[in-house]
Amino acid sequence: MQVESQESPESEDSGHSAFQRSTPIHITLAVAEQSIQRKALVYDGTGDEHYDAISAFIKSMRGSDPDAAVYWLARMLEAGEDPRFIARRIAILASEDIGNADPRAISVAAAAYDVTERVGMPECQLTLSQAAIYMATAPKSNASATAIWAAMKDVREGRTIPVPKHLRDGHYKGAAQLGHAQGYQYAHASEAGFVDQDYLGVDKSYYTPTGRGYEKRIGEYLKWLEDQV
């Protein structure tokens, strides 16, 4: 960096030598670091460093390493990354990589984003650290993510399924004549809160829970439902 000096208000006749207006002052990165006693980070904010750092952060949380997650978080914050961007990525990871293995993760992520938005830096670094550590140490499952991806793929590729007649809206005149809502069984009318009823129209499975965290209980419940049929 080059900064031109200002001319001295004193004239040369007063005995004080004046700087020439064209005399450059060179400020290097080393000089700047020395003056503020902090090491400058190479971080472009939109290029490789930006994407590499957030990638390392996400993969550290997914890989259940809280120490690495906190380090990459610190790197990004110290370099001036928008904390709201980081909070958004934590929220995405909460659903994509944790899901129903720990359903509380999405609530933690939502709260972290809200606090980050309201409080800002530097205090929101505490909230982001807490959220990142929670995500890193939570049980992992991408079953919810793979379920919606598979369903979206079917829809986009034209594998559409008509709504079964018993599930269609029956709150209008003429619905009964069309057979809409006829034969629908209200689950709460059953003592078990469950009835053996077709809700899709085809034999298709999208969601397969893992045996980790809360999804283990979900799997046990789905198995119990199968046994009732």
Quote the pLDDT of residue 78.
Answer: 96
Average of per-residue pLDDT values in the chain: 88
| CA-closest candidate to residue 128, choices 80, 171, 96, 91 | 91
Q: Which range, 18-32, 46-60, 119-133, 174-188, has the best average confidence (pLDDT)? A: 119-133
pLDDT tops 70 at residue 147: yes
Please measure the distance between the N-terminal and C-terminal CA atoms of the chain and give it in whole angstroms: 76
Cα–chain-centroid distance for residue 85? 9
Domain ranges, ordered by start, for the chain? 2-36, 48-137, 146-228
pLDDT tops 90 at residue 157: yes
- Binning pLDDT at 50, 70 and 90, where does residue 148 land? very high
Higher pLDDT pick, 25 / 112: 112
Out of 1.20.272.10, 1.10.4160.10, 1.10.274.10, 3.20.20.10, select the CATH number for domain 48-137: 1.20.272.10
- Binning pLDDT at 50, 70 and 90, where does residue 11 land? very low
Higher pLDDT pick, 28 / 87: 87
Tell me the mean pLDDT in the region 167-181.
93
Q: List pLDDT tens digits, range 71-98.
A: 999 999 999 999 999 999 999 999 999 9
pLDDT tops 70 at residue 20: no
Separation between Cα atoms, residue 184 and residue 167, nearest integer Å: 6
pLDDT tops 50 at residue 5: no
Q: List pLDDT tens digits, range 179-222.
A: 999 999 999 999 999 999 999 999 999 999 999 999 999 999 99
Query: Percent of the chain scored above 70 by pLDDT?
Result: 79
Q: Which fold has domain 146-228?
A: post-AAA+ oligomerization domain-like (1.10.3710)
Cα–chain-centroid distance for residue 30? 36
Tell me the mean pLDDT in the region 10-35.
54
Q: Give 4-13 contacts, CB < 8 A, sequence gap 24+.
A: none
List of E strands, the chain: 2-4, 24-26
pLDDT tops 70 at residue 25: no
